[in-house]
Structure 1
């Protein structure tokens, strides 16, 4: 049975975007598969397949030689991953600039979008760039015959080039790390209490990941001016982007931890335990969000299509939101309680028909110890929507009793009773004189009623009850000394006998 020809392996790099075209071309050059590299050029269809592959191979080697000397390609993250390319670069819609050939003229490397044999639109090296390559090189080198004396190669690039580029990356990070370590040592000498210094905390959290990120930026800037294999440069530039995302995520995580520690310490000093629990939850949520963003960016850098995954996450998030509606409602209620602070732990308050002392405000519910010593748990979504009367927030207590004196006294004695009561109030240091009054209000069924209106200017409930008692006893004693008795309910019954 005749052996069937093996089908060519599918190209993992889509030519439908400029990023896929550049990445696929670099992959082909690294594998020295110049026949595959030829398909990333827009070749004329007038020649047969073998001639097209040979010509494309020549252009591919010329492009690689130009890029190895002084040419540059845009970093992986700067290449457009959209089928239409970039529309804000001032070029025609079917043209995309992806690098420079270098040399004196420093001509651009352009991609153009045309129809593929399969009918889809693909990107390839433009005819203008091909003509620039032919003008810059008078003779093509046969890719199948390597030049003598070449150094050992790893992954399609000389080993010395890999060592040079990796050395630049490691040296950049070491330099910035030493600078950050020296800066931290200098700050430790200046800051006396490092635990309470927010500036030191933030600087300590930011410098290590910032050193790594600056090293990535430095590597991006230096590699464009170094004569090294474009395969090694572009491969490292692609994967150094992953290191950059890791550095940003590391920076964000450490910054979130530093902010959370400073905020938590401040809340604990203010005895705001419910705010501490909210800060801890927000810290976890922020760290998860940073980790997800970094993971999506890394997967995108590795070439995975994250659009479908993000759409699935969006649908799953909607379903989860519907399923966890009550939990989300209670979480929002917790944020409202912490932001508005209608009641705090230890406050005596009334929430709806529940009266008691707040013992704990958690992320899901609030617990209140009632006067009967029972513990009531109220979901925060419900608690935040109730009318909350906080007795602990009172700055003064209303003193508004009605004093009734007996009938049978004269008008002068009644006026004297009013003056005595008002003077007692004015003489007491815990009674606010602003708006204070004692007035004869009305004729009661069993007494002549004197109404008192004043405020006891203390915040503690127990102390206010003690002052209230002192005032009532003083009123009773002074009225008694003046011969004015406090009335009590009495009723006089007149019996009339009818004669025959």
Structure 2
């Protein structure tokens, strides 16, 4: 099938674009690992060795240090602390911060932390401050980062002195509770089990609730004529249950007493489950809407629309998956900026290379949406007259009266002047009847009465527009014009009514003794002087 072949070509183009993006990402990664000998002579811009250029980098580095129980290294993320000059008091501040966070404090999840060196600009805070969480004290003191300059590095974000002043330093020989017992990835094993059990319980609860709701919905809509609501609910509930479980778990973990390292790690990666749920929801919703639209178009014999729905469905699904993958890679810590840039360049290249295909696709969408013609319509497109046999994704085909097949690209078809003869609600009946000149005025009045009677008595003639008039004195006839509209579903039916009317008019005029005129000429011949015995005139 031509439409299926074109769809497959477009899908192949999308796959090629995805491969181009992957190659761009690979080449970028290779460039980042380039050896010094291969690097250019231009010096690279200075970077902070601790990754504190952004609020996200500062919080991530701080959590990694706390998870390793490297409190001296964690203090390097504090304001007014020199990383090169270790002080036991700074390490004690780091322990106090961890204890406060473990005791009910909270940090923003990984995705909510700004990855912009300038931080968030719409948080109603000064430009050099960023709120990233709250301490576990009774006042829920905000944890603020401040942006300041550091020696030989770009501006960095560090925990503000204002936040540190609210911490209570424990005795030096007292370890935080989260540092005791069996440690797994920087957090106590019981905390991991508690958080993972809560996540699993949330998923199980919503899964059972979804199964029960689907059972009730199927029973309620079993006899329904329209299946759209049922299709939508069946498509939305499973991914919605996963998304609700993620949201519920995120709210539950705010402020609970558990290791901040374990909480942030699970919240970070459970965000991947949230993106999967959103992509799953989008894919199932796209399928449900496309299935409903395709069924409706098939019921109305709009095959060309069904083919377009298939293409749009696959394109939307590819876009949904691509967006979810970008979000997941961003959650995992990959730099997706280069990939997005490559995607934009690849999309531009694809659009330029497939310009005519895109134009025809847009033309197809225009024709289907505007519906100037449908398959089976008799129409005139520009100078071409014929019956529409197919409206495809690339072109529209017409069968002419000479039985030839004309293919018109949709980009040209949509811009042409289209005259659709099949959409007429009535057909014009506008003949002229010529009577001979031996008809006098009284005879013309009688002829008009007879013709009007024929027109008025026919049930398929619209009375409000019908008129019969003596319009002019022609060169060889007295002309009567009929102007009326015929009610007929198709052109052949209108010819049948037209024939019926003309025959009835002829019968009435012949019974009334009237004659139809035809072109005649009267020639007068004059005798030459002296010619005798010749007639003066002759008529031909």
Instruction: Calculate the TM-score normalised by the size of structure 1.
Output: 0.90
Match of 1:263 among 282, 293, 300: 293
Offset of residue 480 of structure 1? 1.4
Matched, 1:85 2:119: yes
Match of 1:127 in 2: 161
SS in 1 for 2:140: coil
> What is the CA distance between 1:444 and its match in structure 2?
2.4
Q: Which residue does 2:44 correspond to in 1?
A: none
2:422 alignment partner, SS class: helix
Matched, 1:108 2:145: no
How many residue pairs were aligned? 484
Gaps of 5+ in 1: 1-9
Equivalent-residue separation in structure 2 for 1:225 and 1:126 (angstroms)? 21
For 1:331, which of 330, 343, 361 is the aligned residue? 361
Worse-matched range after superposition: 443-452 or 85-94: 85-94
Q: Which residue of 1 aligns with 2:53?
A: 16
Q: Does 1:385 align with 2:415?
A: yes
1:482 aligns with 2:512: yes
1:12, CA displacement in angstroms?
8.6
Q: Do the aligned residues in 2 keep the contact of 1:58 with 1:141 (CA within 8 Å)?
A: no
| Cα pair 1:109 1:129 within 8 Å, conserved | yes
Partner of 1:6: none
Are residues 1:298 and 2:335 paired? no
Partner of 1:3: none
- 1:61 is the counterpart of 2:95: yes
Task: Report whether the alignment pairs 1:140 with 2:140.
Answer: no
Which deviates further from its counterpart, 484-493 or 74-83? Answer: 484-493
Instruction: Compare 99-108 and 464-473 and name the one that shifted more.
Output: 99-108
What root-mean-square deviation, in Å, do the aligned CA atoms of Structure 1 and Structure 2 show?
Answer: 2.4
User: What is the aligned partner in structure 2 of residue 493 from structure 1?
Assistant: 523
Q: Which residue of 2 aligns with 1:170?
A: 200
After superposing on structure 2, the runs of 4+ consecutive aligned residues of structure 1 that deviate more than 6 Å are: 10-13, 146-149
Q: Higher RCO, 1 or 2 (CA under 8 Å, sep at least 6)?
A: 2
Question: What's the secondary structure of 2:462's corresponding residue?
Answer: strand
Q: Could you say if the C-alpha distance between residues 181 and 33 of structure 1 is closer, same or farther in structure 2, counting changes exceeding 3 Å?
A: same
DSSP 3-state at the match of 2:516: coil
Instruction: Please list, as runs of the form range in 1=range in 2, the aligned pairs for 1:247-396 lying within 5 A after superposition.
Output: 247-396=277-426
In structure 2, how many angstroms separate the alpha carbons of the residues matched to 1:56 and 1:302? 31
Alpha carbons 1:194, 1:201 under 8 Å: kept: no
Contact 1:43–1:52 (8 Å) recurs in 2 = no
Q: Taking structure 1 as reference, are residues 140 and 110 closer, same or farther at Cα in structure 2, changes over 3 Å only? A: farther
Find the counterpart in structure 2 of residue 7 from structure 1: none
Gaps of 5+ in 2: 1-46, 531-540
Secondary structure of the residue aligned to 1:455 is strand
Moved more, 271-280 or 412-421: 271-280
Q: 1:420 aligns with which of 443, 450, 469?
A: 450
Q: 2:65 aligns with which of 10, 28, 31?
A: 28
- Answer yes or no: is 1:72 the counterpart of 2:106: yes
Per the alignment, in what secondary structure is the counterpart of residue 120 of structure 1?
Answer: strand
Residues 1:235 and 2:265 aligned together: yes
- For 2:321 and 2:408, how far apart are their aligned partners in 1? 34
1:266-298 Cα shifts (integer Å, max 9, x gaps): 222223333323333322232222222212222
Once the two structures are overlaid, the 10-residue window that deviates more, 481-490 or 363-372, is 481-490
SS in structure 2 of the partner of residue 99 of structure 1: strand
Structure 1 counterpart of 2:38 = none
Check the 8 A contact 1:398/1:455 in 2, yes or no. Answer: yes
- Alignment partner, residue 131 of structure 2: 97
Query: Is 1:99–1:108's contact at 8 Å kept on the other side of the alignment?
Result: yes
